[in-house]
Amino acid sequence: MTSHSAWRMALAGALSLSLGSAALAQQAAAPPAWAQGRPAEQATSSLAPHAPRLTATPADRIPLDSIRLPEGFRAELWASGMPGARMMARGEDGTVYVGTRTIGRVYAVKDEGSARSTRILAQRLDNPNGVAVRDGALYVIAVNRVLRFDNIAQNPSAEPVELTQAFALPTEGHHGWKFAAFGPDGKLYMNIGVPCNVCTFDENRHALIVRYNPDGSGREVMGHGIRNSVGFDWRPGTNVLYASNNARDWAGNELPEDTLHRLSRPGEHHGFPYCSGNAWQDPGHTGRQCSEFPAPVAMLGPHTAPLGMRFYTGTMFPEAYRGRAFVARHGSWNRDAKSGFDVVAVTLNEDGTQGRVEPFLSGLLDTAENSFKGRPTDVLVMPDGALLVSDEQNGAIYRITYGR
């Protein structure tokens, strides 16, 4: 018997055991998490998440020249050659640590004056998107894994301390990658996204922003009903937490809006899965009403994927920029006309309850061709007041400066 005739016989045997057609249809109906909730009118849509690029983009092919900024600002290529570069955290010695998703690496970028050297600090991790620095230690948060690299500046190749068991994070991969930052209270904050596009889930376990003591003890929920926040920061002078949030897909090109939230009361529910965007009641989740939840501070556009957001605390930029929030919009996939692929600035009103959104960094989206050249993913204010912007698509970090 040849190998393929053996295969055919196995197939025939398997076929004779196949299930009835009703059970078959039911079993086959489970869509991937990103495709859940797709309505009949979008059944034939060919929209799908964009591929990550896992190889280095040579410096001469990075779209620096396409970047547009308000007058007086300029962009330079600060570091490159880091496929998948996403979230950034700055160490006390000035080293910038960079998390990734698919490629499983954490990079370290050392500023050597006129140039930067980059190295792979950790690898083979499952979506190590979260990076945060406290008391000389680098914390790396992957899906269900927390590592602490002590005295990282002095011991750049030290083995990490495993904190995974102490944090006991959920194991779901979808929306399981973390944004992480230390708050002004010295606690480690991170998001826990929903393991679906839209679904019924344990609201004490997912769609959260949580905080922990740095050793993983003392878990507290700071916000419920936040579908997936991959960027947050504390408003200077107030210690109030603001978080970007990615709303659900497959509810149409214009609905719902992605949002910026203000977490003024710890533990408050911000609406998901019932209410999203601009008071949009999800027709599939009507158990609670939009009026029950605090309204978002700002609308950031449907499907634009706002990720990293930080308040501007420097003095290099003009006075008007101080206290504004910069938000990196990674760019849409679930929208026929692509949008985002930029950085916007949000100006808050005095009590911080409402924000006005203005463009800041653009030029990476070609609306005529409906294509993109880069994907801004995180922003980081440097001590000199320059703003770093990571571009996951090109494995690069841009430095934005201002000068007359």
Partner 1 sequence: MGLRVVLLGLALMAPALPAAAQGDAAARGAALAAERNCGACHGERGISAMPGIPSLAGQQAEFIALQLVLFREGLRDVPAMQAPADGLTDQQVEDLGAYVATLPHAPPPDRAPRDASALEAGAALAGQLRCGVCHLPALTGQNQVPHIAGQREDYLAETLIAYRDSKRHGSDTQMNGVVQGLSDAQIAQIAHYVAQR
Residues that bind partner 1 (CB under 8 A): 2-5, 7-8, 10-12, 14-15, 17-19, 24-25, 27-35, 43-46, 48-57, 61, 63, 83, 102-105, 123-124, 173-174, 369-374, 393-394
CB of 70 to partner 1, least distance (A): 24
CA 49 to chain centre: 14
Q: Which residues contact 42 (CB under 8 A, 6 or more apart)?
A: 250, 252
In whole angstroms, the minimum distance from the beta carbon of 303 to partner 1 comes to 17
- Comparing CB distances to partner 1, the nearer of 220 and 366 is 366
Closer residue to partner 1 (CB): 86 or 105: 105
Q: Give whichever of 187 and 338 is closer to partner 1, judged by the CB atom.
A: 338
For partner 1, the closer of residues 324 and 335 by Cβ is 335
Closer of 105 and 148 to partner 1 (Cβ): 105
| Rounded least distance, CB 51 to partner 1, Å | 3
Supply the minimum distance, in Å, between the C-beta of residue 395 and partner 1.
9
Buried b (16+ CB within 10 A) or exposed e, 341-380: bbbbbbebeeebeebebeebbbbbbeeeeeebbbbbbbbb
Q: Collect all residues with Cβ–Cβ distance below 8 Å to 198 and sequence separation of at least 6.
A: 36, 37, 248, 250, 273, 282, 284, 285
What count of other Cβ atoms lies within 10 Å of the Cβ of residue 316? 17
Output the smallest distance, CB 194 to partner 1, in A. Answer: 14
3-class SS letters over 297-357 = CEEEEECCCEEEEEECCCCCCCHHHCCCEEEEECCCCCCCCCCCCEEEEEEECCCCCCEEE
Nearer to partner 1, 192 or 357 (CB): 192
Query: Nearest distance from residue 4's CB to partner 1, in Å?
Result: 5
